[in-house]
Amino acid sequence: MLSFRAIASLLAASLLGGAVTFVVASAAPPVRGVVPGLPEGSDFGLDGPERPRQILKAEAAGGRQSWLVALGNTAFSAPSLFGPKAREAGLSCDTCHRQGDINPRFFIAGNSVRPGGLDPTTSMFNPTQNDGVANHVDIPSLRGVRFNAPYGRDGRIASLREFTRNVIVLEFGGSEPAPVVLDALVAYMEQIEFLPNPKLDRLGRLTDVAGPAAKRGEILFQQPMAGMGGRSCATCHVPDAQFADRRRHDVGSDGLFKTPTLLNARFTAPYFHDGRYAGLGDVVAHFDRVFALGLTPGQRGDLVAYLEAVGDADQPLEPMTRQSEMSELAAYVAVLDDAITHADQPAIDLVVDTVVRDLRFIARRFDNRDPRTGRPRRPDRPDVARIAEDLAAHMTSVGARARAGDAAGARESLRLYRERATALVASYPQTN
């Protein structure tokens, strides 16, 4: 089993140093328009009824998250990896890349030009990165990220591991992450699959499920065009290679940028590296204008229909429920069994810190109490806030007992946590 001992000093300053006080009202993670430490009007968009659907490779094959992937899943939701400003705001990888996809509502007042992105080169999170230039970057989806090197909108970084380290240290001012943390984050992200699309076959060709306009658009997409030097759209968006060529091109958007995949793109608006276009129709109009393609309105419509078909997916969103949120925490908690056995306190602290923080969100998101009386609105439903408070206490006890060298006590607190969690969901996963 991989050890966390080498990162104890690294995480000590940012993770739990002792008991945690669980306060639902004041300590809840940021929701609509209220983000601690950020300008008024900032919004992390965490209060919606749905979240992007996620498919992990091993789970889709009938397996489970490995210890390393589960650790990476936890770290992906951990603000403790970032610098002080980001930690105060409760910002994590998952805040921007919800379930490994995008967050179209993410907005930081004075930093984001439009929802769905931010400028990582200001003094807001890391003063050393401030270049005095507006560099708004649209948040990309991480679905299929293992296929899409090089990384960054401009393809400037060769490896996913190096890119991840760059985000943590340079963009958000975090301490140098331990190698095992980077390994875990990469292992987790490389598990995130594209969502299935019945309108495409394995070679990227439209199936009979697609409509006639999309079929006409497919022909146009593969047709060489004089305005593009005899190339076609498919020259860069290669259908049998996840609709990308892994190269950088100047398409009239102020520089060289990497060809993005078109898979699942119907749900990743806005478009282009800086999110300048709200819809796929705007994208087609841009290429028609910049490359003087001379498309008719009908041809533009057919190309849009084709892009929508290629970018489609089964069940792109799923409801946010107590079950889905607690199941996510179950993956984090699974790390604790081995971490307690191997006395890896920093691993334990990472899980405890992340779980307690997410429990605060669950308490606020699914609170069943009347704020005027403090009583449950529906007596037939669980008092989510109270149960979440109990869970946070048990989870905090896991960390404290492990820190005191009481492995048996830590396991007992973990058992009590899992037992209490069944009050929120009937089939709470007990182990990994």
Distance, first Cα to last Cα, the chain: 15
DSSP state of 169: I
Question: Which position has the token pair 């966390």?
Answer: 4
Alpha-carbon distances of 145 from 123, 186, 189, rounded to whole Å: 28, 10, 7
Look at residues 394, 387, 425 and name the one whose alpha carbon lies nearest to residue 411. Answer: 394
The 10 Å Cβ neighbour count of residue 223 is: 11
Would you say 324 and 230 are in contact if contact means Cβ atoms under 8 Å apart? Answer: no
Query: In angstroms, what CA-CA distances link 135 with 39, 252, 316?
Result: 19, 16, 29
The pLDDT tens digits of the residues spanning 325-351 come to 999 999 999 999 999 999 999 999 999
Please indicate, yes or no, whether the overall pTM of this predicted structure exceeds 0.75: yes
Higher local confidence (pLDDT), 39 or 18:
39
Q: What is the amino acid identity at position 129?
A: Q
How confident is the model at residue 426, as a pLDDT?
A: 59
Q: How far apart are CA 410 and CA 395, in angstroms?
A: 9
pLDDT digits (tens, 9 = 90+) for 82-137: 999 999 999 999 999 999 999 999 999 999 999 999 999 999 999 999 999 999 99
Pairing of strands 117-118, 137-138: antiparallel
The amino acid at 353: D
Q: In this predicted model, what pLDDT tens digit does every residue of 191-245 receive, in sequence order?
A: 999 999 999 999 999 999 999 999 999 999 999 999 999 999 999 999 999 999 9
Q: May I ask the CATH architecture of the domain 212-310? A: Orthogonal Bundle (1.10)
Domain ranges of the chain: 5-194+318-421, 212-310
Tokens read off for 208: 């009979």
The answer to whether 268 and 257 are in contact (CB under 8 A) is no
| 33-59: pLDDT as tens digits | 579 999 999 999 998 999 999 999 999
CB 65 within 8 A of CB 180: no
